[in-house]
């Protein structure tokens, strides 16, 4: 179940590169996810601010007509890197191997990238509406799913881990 949650969060990174990491930082800052060691930076106001601004910039930039496709090399590499980073961060509280978490997150991001592109292009054609209308819906789906998956990781992790849950507070 843990790997499924990492893959699904990776899929959200495939939709919007910075939204899942921004939501993860918000969860850490609010004390809903706990990281030790170098991962603790995610709970800082600076990390929350930086990743939130990046996510907001991406939400706006995605609607611009000259924005390159998410399936181009630059966008694809960025999505893979940030999903790998999310997987690496979440490997600790989920007691997963970092390499496994990274691999699963990247696969999720690649699937999410192409599935998101497919659904968006087909929806625009089917509904005969402007691209930005579908893009705003995609934004809402990505934000909602990122919050949902991180909520499952943070609050229901003990059910998936089978441990005493000492790493988290309620």
Q: Where are the domains of the chain?
A: 2-161
Categorise residue 64: left if φ over 0, alpha if ψ from -120 to 50, beta otherwise. Answer: beta
CA distances from 120 to 31, 70, 75, 114, 150 (A): 35, 11, 16, 10, 24
Containing H/E element for 35? Answer: none
The reported pTM is 0.89
DSSP category for residue 69: P
Nearest CA-CA partner of 28 in 12, 50, 45? 45
And the tokens for 76? 């694809």
List the chain pLDDT tens, one digit each, 170 residues: 889 999 999 999 999 999 999 999 999 999 999 888 999 999 999 999 999 999 999 999 999 989 999 999 999 999 999 999 999 999 988 889 999 999 999 999 999 999 999 999 999 999 999 999 999 999 999 999 999 999 999 887 644 444 444 444 44
CB 98 within 8 A of CB 88: yes
């Amino acid at each position: 179940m843990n790997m499924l949650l990492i893959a699904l969060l990776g899929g959200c990174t495939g939709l919007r590169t910075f939204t899942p990491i921004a939501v993860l930082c918000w969860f850490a800052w609010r004390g809903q996810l706990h990281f030790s060691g170098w991962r603790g930076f995610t709970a800082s106001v600076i990390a929350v601010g930086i990743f939130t601004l990046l996510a907001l910039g991406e939400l706006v930039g995605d609607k611009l007509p000259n924005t390159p496709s998410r399936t181009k090399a630059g966008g694809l590499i960025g999505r893979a890197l940030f999903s790998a980073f999310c997987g690496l961060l979440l490997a600790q509280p989920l007691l997963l191997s970092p390499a496994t978490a990274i691999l699963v997150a990247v696969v999720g991001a690649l699937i999410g990238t192409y599935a998101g592109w497919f659904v968006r292009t087909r929806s625009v054609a089917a509904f005969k509406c402007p691209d930005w209308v579908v893009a705003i819906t995609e934004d809402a789906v990505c934000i909602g799913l990122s919050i949902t998956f991180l909520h499952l990781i943070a609050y229901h992790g003990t059910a998936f881990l089978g441990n005493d849950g000492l790493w988290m507070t309620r």
